[in-house]
Every structure is written in structure tokens, then in C-alpha cells.
């Protein structure tokens, strides 16, 4: 008989909202850790708020096709990344005027702007990698954003551990070169 987590994943995949609620409650600590890793030093978005926004995306999607815990966390990391990119774009648009009233620029505003620009640069580089090497981009999402181990990434992607290790190294090298230029 499948475990509770597997049953909840299956039920949530079929649109069972109480199952999704229970699933999120069971994995809440993992989701908070994931959100903390996704924010990577950003003080602009609260970890708890990021988890709750991710949950709302799950509720509104209606289609939660996940296979296991690693897949659920990987999907959560992808949603959190999208949320952070949306937030960074909003912040940058607001800093350029965006119809807001004039205000004085402070040092922490400059830090926040640089942080948003860095995050968007990483996201753009990852999107470029995904165009030519989607498997490597997926490995980066699992390892960097979801914080999965190499073994968990291999399981989540259905690939061998050695392939994941090789893709992770090559993707890091490629991203490093792309972000330096």
C-alpha cells in the first residue's frame, strides 16, 4: 500500500484540494527551506510569503501532475523562481518610474535594484541554457533552486547519477561564463 505522501500526491493531482492542503502541511518545512534557498540572500521577499504564493499557484492551476516528493519540490522551486522573477520585474519597473510618485533613492534601494537585476540575469541565462540544453537547465533547477541532492535530482529527472553530475558541472561552467560576460 502506498504511503500517505504518495496517496496525497495522487489525490492532489486529481484536484482534491484537502489533499493538497494536507500535502503542503506535511512538506511545509521543506517548502520553507526551498523558499529560503530560492531567495538566496534576497530580503525583498519574505520566505513565508513565497511559500504561500506558491501554494496559491498550485490551487489556481487545477493541474498538479506530480509523481513523487522530489518532483513536487522541483515544481515548487520552478514556481518560486517564476514568482521571484515577477517580483524583480515589478521592482525594476517601479524604480524606473512606473507611474509612481517621485522619491529619493537610498542605498538600500540601490542594493535591492542590483539584487533584482542579478536574479533576472540568472533567470535569463537559465532560459538561454534551456533553449539549447533543456536537460542541463532542468538539472540546474533541481540542484540550485530546489536544493535537491545529486541523487534526488537523478531520481526526479529519471537519469543516472553520473549523467546528472556531468550535466550539473557543465551547466555551472556555462552559466558562470554567461554571467561574467
Q: Where are the domains of the chain?
A: 4-180
pTM for the whole structure = 0.72
- CB contact set of 74 (below 8 Å; sequence gap of 6+): 141, 142, 146, 148, 156
Name the nearest CA neighbour of 130 among 139, 143, 142: 139
Q: Is residue 14 classed exposed, middle or buried when 0-12, 13-18 and 19+ CB atoms within 10 A define those classes?
A: exposed
48-60 residue pLDDT tens? 988 999 988 888 8
Q: Is residue 157 classed exposed, middle or buried when 0-12, 13-18 and 19+ CB atoms within 10 A define those classes?
A: buried
Query: Do 140 and 171 touch, CB atoms closer than 8 A?
Result: yes
16-61 residue pLDDT tens? 889 889 999 999 998 998 888 887 656 667 889 889 999 888 888 7
80-137 residue pLDDT tens? 888 888 888 887 876 555 455 444 444 556 667 777 788 788 888 989 999 999 999 9
Amino acid at each position: 500500500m502506498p504511503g500517505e505522501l504518495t496517496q496525497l500526491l495522487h489525490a492532489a493531482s486529481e484536484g482534491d484540494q484537502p489533499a493538497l492542503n494536507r500535502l503542503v502541511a506535511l512538506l511545509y518545512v521543506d517548502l520553507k527551506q526551498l523558499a529560503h534557498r530560492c531567495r538566496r540572500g534576497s530580503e525583498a521577499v519574505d520566505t513565508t510569503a513565497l511559500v504561500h504564493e506558491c501554494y496559491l499557484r498550485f490551487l489556481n492551476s487545477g493541474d498538479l501532475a506530480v509523481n513523487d516528493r522530489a518532483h513536487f519540490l522541483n515544481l515548487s522551486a520552478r514556481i518560486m523562481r517564476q514568482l521571484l522573477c515577477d517580483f524583480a520585474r515589478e521592482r525594476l519597473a517601479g524604480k524606473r518610474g512606473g507611474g509612481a510618485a517621485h522619491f529619493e533613492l537610498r542605498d538600500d534601494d540601490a542594493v535591492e535594484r542590483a539584487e533584482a537585476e542579478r536574479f533576472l540575469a540568472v533567470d535569463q541565462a537559465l532560459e538561454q541554457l534551456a533553449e539549447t540544453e533543456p536537460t542541463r537547465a532542468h538539472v540546474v533547477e533541481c540542484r540550485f533552486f530546489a536544493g535537491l541532492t545529486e541523487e534526488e535530482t537523478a531520481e526526479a529527472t529519471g537519469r543516472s547519477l553520473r549523467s546528472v553530475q556531468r550535466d550539473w558541472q557543465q551547466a555551472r561552467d556555462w552559466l558562470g561564463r554567461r554571467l561574467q560576460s
